[in-house]
Amino acid sequence: MDDTLKLPVTRFSTAQLPGPDRWDAWRDSISVLFDVSPLAGPAALDEEHSVLGAHLGAVLFGETRFATQSFERSQRKLIGNGLDHYLVQFYAKGGYAGQVGDEEVVLRPGDIVILDLARTLRTENPSSHLYSLVIPRDVLDTALGKARPLHGEILRRDTGAARLLREHLWTLGECLPGMAASEAPMLAEATVGMVAACFRPTSEARARAEAPLAAATLNSIKRHIEARLAAPDLSPASIAAAFRLSRTTLYRMFEPLGGVNAFIQERRLARAHAALKLPANKGRRIHEIAFECGFASEAHFSRRFRDTFGVTPTSWQREAPAHGISALEEENYARWIARLRAA
């Protein structure tokens, strides 16, 4: 496959629509999955709703933001659209309370739920931000080893399985736009394997998902490092303690990246590289930016910056070119869901 081809990505937002048209556009866009009703009065009809979606072949990924409302899949809805998929949802913000099948369910931020789109539900949701996966039934059933009831099963936010799957979904949201289409089959397989391992932690499922789980842990550590780059006490010891790992295990995980100390320095250099070209930092002293990015010595920072980028920080700050952001390819997420089948 041509590595220059980008993963199919779609973006839907009501932000550019007149207020009175926003709710109708949102209701129509989400109707392939749910019937929706506002809960917060007329003002909620004017609020912004958005979906960022990516097509991985056998799996669809979505990142969605919406205002307070109810969601329903009635028996009539099931007969009308005949979807035979699972929907995995992680609520980074918000959640819901309602009836999933025959059970009363409360979902909190950080929890992960799996829904069977061939069964009914009705929920009431506050303003929310969530990540989701749409997976054909036979794809996930095969990964699980056998079919079993999953509708409304929840990974609570304080469990290790929820943490690992959250990290994977967060990472997908960050990486999918701009990814090569050739990477999609591998990524879809790894994602399904991780969902299966987290919702059915048998030895067989864990074996299939060992690599994705290890990748999720590494991504979690990377996010920890990124959030603490400016901290002077960021070190292999502090990272190992935060994740309850031995330093030997941590060093082994970062070997393919040149080592944990090298990774921290590379991320600090990358942050400084980006900060120096920001218009707001034009003319700022180099040492101020270096310290904000975690460097204790301006001389050391300048030497490492020049060795890495082939230019001094001062020259880069003065001459850095502006970089535009390309528009994402537009597709129809609702049509993708309706046509989704096992690859």
> For 77-115, how does the pLDDT look when each residue is reduced to its tens digit (9 = 90+)?
886 677 789 999 999 999 999 999 888 999 999 999 999
Report whether 313 contacts 290 (CB < 8 A): yes
How is the chain split into domains, by residue range? 9-220, 228-319
What's the pTM? 0.65
CATH of domain 9-220: 2.60.120.10
Distance CA 236, CA 223 (A): 14
- pLDDT (tens digit per residue) in 241-299: 988 889 998 998 888 878 999 989 988 988 888 888 787 788 889 999 999 999 988 99
Residue range 167-204, pLDDT digits in tens: 889 888 888 877 888 888 888 988 998 898 888 764 44
DSSP for 32-87, please give it. Answer: TT-EEEE-S-GGGGGS--EEEEEE-SS-EEEEEEE-SEEEEE-HHHHHHH---EEE
For domain 228-319, give its CATH number from 1.10.10.60, 2.40.37.10, 3.90.1150.10, 2.40.170.20. Answer: 1.10.10.60
Radius of gyration of the chain (CA): 23
